[in-house]
């Protein structure tokens, strides 16, 4: 009798991309300061032009005024559930990755009780008490870490069907007087991950996570505005951009390489590399560094689809949104081929970095 495998497979995906399109001209009248509280030199036109050259971001999306992260996550979950054609009452877990909870427009206050997962379950009107709903804050790699946790539940036999969501409204926790605020955006993505008996191993083939906190823990943090006239008790997301850039260029390629080795997959067999969408130049540099680790100077055309140019960095939402767009063939000419592996990778606050090798069924 032929061997059969218990595979963790994505059976449905969904997304919610807010309708508010914010292009770079939105920041022309902003007052930007440096970390010492001094006004930045040069015109805003010059600052914005240099920003776009470095990050590739020309526009991003902000959540509608009356919506919060759990609302965005709920919309993405509805799409994923419909796509998978399942009864939400059959879900064993709902895991929501985020970092700031529900932040109302104009407030800046973090609201995490009850959990966003509980709020999403309520909005989905799921009555099943055994659908366990909990949150996972893990920086930008949170959604991918939630996928890894879900994989363990499925492989252990504890669960058969799990909803994994990434939702964030970073626009509401970014300092409007910090030029880095132009990076951040809002959105949500979701997938249904199920345990399936298969004739060959598909779905999640391997994963790897690192947490480097010895000297890196506070490279992403919350602190006061760069504008000295703003009250110090209002906290905003801040980052040491250069340190994070250098860390990402080293950590992410190494994590992907080790993850591929664990999964027994060759780099040139990968059909797509889905990297957390934070900065176009950084993502390109990480991909180049990855191929150099294997001694390759040429990178296959179209291997790394991008959304950061028009959607910005919406943290935990970038990977599931990116996956859903490609999965539905709605991102340029990108698509997934059955039977070929995909790599997911992310890096962010912690500092944390992770990777998953996923074989398309």
Q: Are residues 190 and 296 in the same domain?
A: no
Q: Is the pLDDT of residue 44 over 90?
A: yes
Strands 341-348 and 272-275, by their bridges, are parallel
Between CA 186 and CA 60 the distance in angstroms is 8
Between CA 16 and CA 165 the distance in angstroms is 11
Between CA 199 and CA 210 the distance in angstroms is 32
- Per-residue b or e along 247-284, where b marks 16 or more CB atoms closer than 10 Å to that residue's CB: bbbebbbbbbbebbeebebebeebbbbbbbbbbbebbe
> What pLDDT shows up at residue 3?
67
- Tens digits of per-residue pLDDT, 180-229? 999 999 999 999 999 999 999 999 999 999 999 999 999 999 999 999 99
Q: Are residues 164 and 227 in the same domain?
A: no
Q: Are residues 214 and 157 in the same domain?
A: no
The CATH number of residue 18's host domain is 3.40.47.10
Q: Are residues 41 and 175 in the same domain?
A: yes
132: which residues sit within 8 A by CB, 6+ positions away?
A: 92, 93, 94
- Tens digits of per-residue pLDDT, 108-139? 788 999 999 999 999 999 999 999 999 999 99
Q: Are residues 304 and 317 in the same domain?
A: yes
Structure-block tokens of residue 28: 């022309």
Structure-block tokens of residue 232: 């110090």
* % of the chain beyond a pLDDT of 70: 99
Task: Please give the tally of structural domains in the chain.
Answer: 2
Which of 148, 204, 206, 146 is closest to 8 using CA atoms? 204
Give the pLDDT mean for 67-85.
98
Q: Cα torsion at 93, 97, 98, 104 (round to 10°)?
A: -30
Q: Which of 150, 165, 198 delimits the end of a domain?
A: 198
Give the pLDDT mean for 264-270.
97
- Tens digits of per-residue pLDDT, 315-358? 999 999 999 999 999 999 999 999 999 999 999 999 999 999 99
Q: Are residues 223 and 273 in the same domain?
A: yes
What single-letter DSSP state applies at residue 283?
H
Q: What is the mean pLDDT of the chain?
A: 96
Give the pLDDT mean for 80-109.
95
> What pLDDT shows up at residue 226?
96
Backbone conformation region of residue 332, classed left if phi is above 0, alpha if psi is from -120 to 50, else beta: left
> What pLDDT shows up at residue 1?
45
Q: Are residues 33 and 80 in the same domain?
A: yes
Between CA 319 and CA 141 the distance in angstroms is 9
Between CA 65 and CA 327 the distance in angstroms is 29
* % of the chain beyond a pLDDT of 90: 96
79: which residues sit within 8 A by CB, 6+ positions away?
A: 13, 14, 15, 16, 190, 324
Q: Which of 181, 198, 215 delimits the end of a domain?
A: 198
Q: Are residues 266 and 178 in the same domain?
A: no
- Tens digits of per-residue pLDDT, 162-179? 999 999 999 999 999 999
In three-state secondary structure terms, 92 is coil
**Helix H or strand E encompassing 78:** helix 69-84
CB atoms within 10 A of CB 172: 24
Q: Is the pLDDT of residue 154 over 80?
A: yes
Rg (CA), the chain: 20
> What pLDDT shows up at residue 233?
86
> What pLDDT shows up at residue 2?
57
Q: Are residues 169 and 229 in the same domain?
A: no
> What pLDDT shows up at residue 193?
98
Domain that holds residue 348: 203-359
This prediction has a pTM of: 0.96
Q: Which of 146, 178, 198 delimits the end of a domain?
A: 198
Give the pLDDT mean for 72-93.
98
Which of 271, 353, 347, 350 is closest to 313 using CA atoms? 347
Q: Are residues 352 and 313 in the same domain?
A: yes
> What pLDDT shows up at residue 107?
85
Q: Are residues 231 and 95 in the same domain?
A: no
What single-letter DSSP state applies at residue 37?
S
**Helix H or strand E encompassing 187:** strand 186-198
Q: Which long-range contacts (CB under 8 A, 24 or more apart) does 47-54 make?
A: 47/179, 48/24, 48/182, 51/24, 51/179, 51/182, 52/24, 54/279, 54/281
Between CA 177 and CA 30 the distance in angstroms is 7
Q: Are residues 191 and 212 in the same domain?
A: no
Q: Is the pLDDT of residue 106 over 70?
A: yes
């Amino acid at each position: 009798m032929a061997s059969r495998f218990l595979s963790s497979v994505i059976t449905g995906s969904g997304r919610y991309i807010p309708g508010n399109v914010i292009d770079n001209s939105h920041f022309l009248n902003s007052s930007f300061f440096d970390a010492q509280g001094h006004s930045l030199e040069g015109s805003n036109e010059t600052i914005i032009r240099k920003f776009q050259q470095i990050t590739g971001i020309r526009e991003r999306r902000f959540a509608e005024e009356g919506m919060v992260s759990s609302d965005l996550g709920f919309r993405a979950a509805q799409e994923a559930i419909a796509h998978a054609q399942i009864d939400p009452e059959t879900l064993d877990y709902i895991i929501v990755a985020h970092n700031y909870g529900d932040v109302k427009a104009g407030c800046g206050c973090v609201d995490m009780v009850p959990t966003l997962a509980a709020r999403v379950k309520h909005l989905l009107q799921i009555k099943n008490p055994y659908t366990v709903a909990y949150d996972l804050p893990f920086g930008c790699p949170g959604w991918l870490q939630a996928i890894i946790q879900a994989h363990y539940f499925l492989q252990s036999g504890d669960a058969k069907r799990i909803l994994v969501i990434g939702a964030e409204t970073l626009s509401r926790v970014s300092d409007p007087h910090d030029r880095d605020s132009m990076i951040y955006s809002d959105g949500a993505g979701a997938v249904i991950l199920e345990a399936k008996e298969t004739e060959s191993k598909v779905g999640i083939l391997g994963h790897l996570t690192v947490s480097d906190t010895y000297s890196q823990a506070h490279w992403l943090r919350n602190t006061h505005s760069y504008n000295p006239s703003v009250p110090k008790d209002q906290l905003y997301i801040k980052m040491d951009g250069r340190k994070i850039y250098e860390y990402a260029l080293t950590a992410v390629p190494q994590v992907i390489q080790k993850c591929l080795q664990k999964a027994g997959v060759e780099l040139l067999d990968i059909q797509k590399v889905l990297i957390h969408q934070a900065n176009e130049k950084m993502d390109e540099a990480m991909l180049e560094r990855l191929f150099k680790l294997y001694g390759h100077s040429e990178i296959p055309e179209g291997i790394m689809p991008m959304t950061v140019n028009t959607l910005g960095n919406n943290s935990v939402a970038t990977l599931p949104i990116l996956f859903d767009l490609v999965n539905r063939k709605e991102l340029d000419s990108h698509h997934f081929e059955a039977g070929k592996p995909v790599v997911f990778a992310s890096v962010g606050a912690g500092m944390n970095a992770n990777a998953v090798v996923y074989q398309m069924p």
